[in-house]
Amino acid sequence: MNIGEAAKASGVTAKMIRYYESTGLLRPAVRRSNGYRDYGAVDVHELRFIRRARGLGFDMAEIAELLSLWRDRDRASRDVHRVASGHIDVLQTRIAELKGMVDTLSTLVACCHGDGRPDCPILSDLGGGIDTGQPLERAKRR
């Protein structure tokens, strides 16, 4: 199977398949005599695995760990459980952060009359907001 077919079959772009290989997440694909990568059913299965895990917000490091557990027929489900639970915690922290932002913003928006007049509590707050003096917390990514 060519990379394009594997891409269609897995829902992972050819671009990303090569990238995953380059970072070591995937083992180097078998090459045919013409240099083309050759994929089989197992590879497509792994690609689907990665795609699904990405959709659940796991990052590459976590996926590498999950993938190696997945390949190991003797893994302990405890390990998988741990990775997944840890990820839920991260997601929930992120949700809480976002909710905090929404709360603050909603309050401000509700106080702003939103018409042609220039006075606006949203800008007043941004300009004079309570300042902790601490460096801005580094943004978390999915």
Q: Which residues bind a second copy (CB under 8 A)?
A: 11-13, 45, 48-49, 51-57, 66, 69-70, 72-78, 80-82, 84-85, 87-88, 91-92, 94-95, 98-99, 101-102, 104-106, 108-109, 112-120, 122-123, 125-129, 131-137, 139-142
What residues are paired with 30 via a beta bridge?
A: 38
- In the complex, minimum distance from the CB of residue 98 to DNA, in angstroms, rounded to a whole number: 15
Q: How many CB atoms lie within 10 A of CB 7?
A: 19
Among residues 32 and 75, whose Cβ is nearest to DNA? Answer: 32
Among residues 22 and 104, whose Cβ is nearest to a second copy? Answer: 104
What's 56's DSSP letter? T
- In the complex, minimum distance from the CB of residue 117 to a second copy, in angstroms, rounded to a whole number: 6
CA 17 to chain centre: 16
Among residues 34 and 134, whose Cβ is nearest to a second copy? Answer: 134
| Helix, strand, or coil (residue 92) | helix
Nearest to residue 47, comparing CAs of 76, 15, 75?
A: 15
Q: Which does 42 bind (CB under 5 to 8 A by kind): DNA, a second copy, none?
A: none
Among residues 35 and 136, whose Cβ is nearest to a second copy? Answer: 136
Which pair of structure tokens corresponds to residue 107?
A: 């309050």
Contact 2, 29 (CB under 8 A): no
Instruction: Indicate the pairing of strand 37-38 with strand 30-31.
Output: antiparallel
Contact stretch for DNA (CB under 7 A) within 15-23, 65-73, 79-87, 88-96: 15-23
